[in-house]
Amino acid sequence: MTRQQFVHPDEIRARFSSAMSDMYQAEVPLYGALLQLVAEINYHSIEKSPELARHLRQTGEIDRLNMERHGAIRVGTAAELATLRRLFAVMGMIPVGYYDLAPAGVPVHSTAFRAIHETSLQICPFRVFTSLLRLELIAQPELRKQAADILAKRNIFTPQAIALIVQHETAGGLTEHEAAEFITQALETFRWHNQATVSAEVYQQLHDSHRLIADVVAFKGPHINHLTPRTLDIDAVQTAMPAHNITPKAVIEGPPPRHCPILLRQTSFKALEEKVAFVSTDGQIVHGHHTARFGEIEQRGAALTAKGRNLYDRLLQAAQDELQVPANENNAAQYRAILSKQFDQFPDNFSAMRSEKLAFFRYFPTEKSLNIAAASVQEFTLDELISAGFIQYEPLVYEDFLPVSAAGIFQSNLGDKGQSHFTGHSSQQDFQRDLGTEVIDELQLYEETQQRSLAACAQALKLASLSL
Ligand code: OOG
Ligand code: NI
């Protein structure tokens, strides 16, 4: 069989993402309502703002907007995480970034599986925030052992999914028929099961230790716990949610509203209370409930450089320090005011963000550049080429996550008022050992995309090279 007959991983990812969205819509109808609301508001945002429309067309984001989403899952063992890495690799999804949630009181550490090249991201930007439970953070040794024993007994992958992962690894790809079967089989891992694998008593013990531990340990597999569409106007969706019977959390996570959006702003609706069946040791079924699955929306903005990110982290921390208590329903308006005031210090135009090297950009040759004699611009710097109208730039969209926001999303859904942080030291090395590979540094990826766009400009203008 020749390579040409393999379905491209980008195509498998696009189909899988769409199949997962269909499954989640059937499982959580409110997600369907949210999708519709987001699509309507995106449509109006584009109609209302020719500038936004032009920007989205220039970057190509307009074509990926309606299929853009991320999901989140939580696994219990190193073996589960390592096999997930192989499963996502079939779809061209590689672990990017390390997120330590323990300091925020969530006993997990995480990565995001996603495509890494701008061409692949353009075909399908689907990402999955994937967390590994840190059992060592369970304080009671007996419960810790019991949780580990329960997890050791489960298998979260179908035999056919494993066989197709191996087929992909040995043959170098999947045929049309195999890819279709892979999507069906892989989806099984993320399906919701309303039957718990433990008794109501064990569930309660796990739940008392931390709600998240019950969510990971007491079920057959890592059910997808939310799928998040991308909105162009998160404030408009947040305001419109209650009229659609969707109750959002009080505060939007991330930066304040800005003319030039940066990083990521997110809000979610509370997890649903769902009926589950527990099995007691004598085989009796006991009915109960579990809250795990919720809905979330996000607005994505410019990817920041290390310098920009430091400024963001500092201003966010300053806003939290000034508020003194965690943001909630009662102080939401005050928090918004404080946050906006702090972020006055973050330039809100792309020209300043570029000259101060706060964000990453993608450079495009303009129409004008196609008609000039190369010799006439040989001596121009990048800034001069921009001023003379030969090159345009657009911010690179942030493709990743924010640990403080992620913790806020976890917390609002866990309703966890107890433990506010874990002290056990966490380590990217341990995570990578369990994952079976190193995670990619996201800043490196943005740097490379920026660099490739400069190289393309140099080529269009017939220049030997072009640098920042
Ligand atoms: C993941 C929470 C993090 C985000 O968008 O930051 C997340 C989870 O609840 O499992 O999805
Ligand atoms: Ni999320």
Å from CA of 72 to ligand 1 middle: 6
| Atom of ligand 1 at shortest range from CA of 108 | 10
Residue 460, classed as helix, strand or coil, is: helix
Å from CA of 277 to ligand 1 middle: 26
What ligand is nearest to the CA atom of residue 129?
Answer: 1
Q: What's the gap between Cα 202 and its chain centre? A: 31
CA–CA separation, 278 and 280 (whole Å): 6
Closest CA to 88 of 10, 160, 155: 10
CB atoms within 10 A of CB 273: 10
pLDDT at position 417: 54
What ligand is nearest to the CA atom of residue 228?
Answer: 2
pLDDT at position 44: 96
What ligand is nearest to the CA atom of residue 400?
Answer: 1
Closest CA to 463 of 390, 394, 395, 396: 390
Instruction: Give the helix/strand (H/E) hosting 321.
Output: helix 306-323
Tokens in use for 458? Answer: 């140099």
| Atom of ligand 1 at shortest range from CA of 409 | 2
Question: CA angle, 245 as apex, 241 and 248 as ends, to 5°?
Answer: 45
Tokens in use for 234? Answer: 């998160």
- Distance (Å) of CA 66 to CA 32, 36, 46, 401, 405: 13, 10, 13, 19, 23
CA–CA separation, 49 and 388 (whole Å): 26
Look at ligand 1, atom 5, and give the residue with the nearest C-alpha: 406
CA–CA separation, 392 and 227 (whole Å): 34
- Distance (Å) of CA 81 to CA 210, 214, 216: 21, 18, 13
pLDDT at position 6: 97
Look at ligand 1, atom 6, and give the residue with the nearest C-alpha: 406
Between the two ends of the chain, the Cα-to-Cα distance in Å is 45
Å from CA of 409 to ligand 2 middle: 7
Tokens in use for 400? Answer: 């990743």
Dihedral of the alpha carbons of 395, 399, 400, 405, in degrees to the nearest 10: 70
| Atom of ligand 1 at shortest range from CA of 298 | 5
Q: Running DSSP on this structure, what letter comes out for residue 256? A: P
Å from CA of 206 to ligand 2 middle: 23
Å from CA of 227 to ligand 2 middle: 7
Instruction: Give the helix/strand (H/E) hosting 457.
Output: helix 442-460
pLDDT at position 372: 79
| Atom of ligand 1 at shortest range from CA of 73 | 10
Å from CA of 271 to ligand 2 middle: 12
pLDDT at position 375: 67
Look at ligand 1, atom 3, and give the residue with the nearest C-alpha: 406
Tokens in use for 290? Answer: 């579990």
Q: Which of 69, 210, 299, 410 maximizes ligand 1 atoms within 8 Å of its Cβ, making it the mutation to test the pocket?
A: 410
Q: Which of 69, 81, 106, 129 maximizes ligand 1 atoms within 8 Å of its Cβ, making it the mutation to test the pocket?
A: 129
Å from CA of 295 to ligand 2 middle: 8
Q: Which of 190, 226, 272 maximizes ligand 1 atoms within 8 Å of its Cβ, making it the mutation to test the pocket?
A: 226
CA–CA separation, 71 and 274 (whole Å): 19
Å from CA of 71 to ligand 1 middle: 8
Work out whether strand 264-269 and strand 273-279 pair parallel, antiparallel, or are unpaired: unpaired
Q: Which of 401, 411, 442 maximizes ligand 1 atoms within 8 Å of its Cβ, making it the mutation to test the pocket?
A: 401
CB atoms within 10 A of CB 26: 11
Question: CA angle, 264 as apex, 258 and 266 as ends, to 5°?
Answer: 100
Å from CA of 143 to ligand 2 middle: 29
Helix ranges (H only) for 324-441 are 332-342, 350-355, 367-370, 382-387, 403-414, 428-435
Residues with beta carbon inside 6 Å of ligand 1?
72, 74, 129, 131, 225, 266, 296, 401, 405-406, 409-410
CA–CA separation, 387 and 381 (whole Å): 10
Closest CA to 201 of 267, 303, 288: 288
3-state helix, strand, coil in the chain (%, to 5): 50, 15, 30
Dihedral of the alpha carbons of 113, 57, 255, 338, in degrees to the nearest 10: -170
Å from CA of 410 to ligand 1 middle: 6
Look at ligand 1, atom 2, and give the residue with the nearest C-alpha: 406
What is the pLDDT tens value at each position of the chain, 468 positions in all? 555 599 999 999 999 999 999 999 999 999 999 999 999 999 999 999 999 999 999 999 999 998 899 999 999 999 999 999 999 999 999 999 999 998 888 899 999 999 999 999 999 999 999 999 999 888 889 999 999 999 999 999 999 999 999 999 999 999 999 999 999 999 999 999 999 999 999 999 999 998 899 999 999 999 999 999 999 999 999 999 999 888 888 899 999 999 999 999 999 988 888 999 999 888 899 999 998 888 999 999 999 999 999 999 999 999 999 999 988 889 999 999 999 999 999 999 999 999 999 999 999 999 988 887 766 888 899 999 999 999 999 999 999 999 988 888 887 776 655 556 776 676 899 999 999 999 999 999 999 999 999 999 999 999 998 999
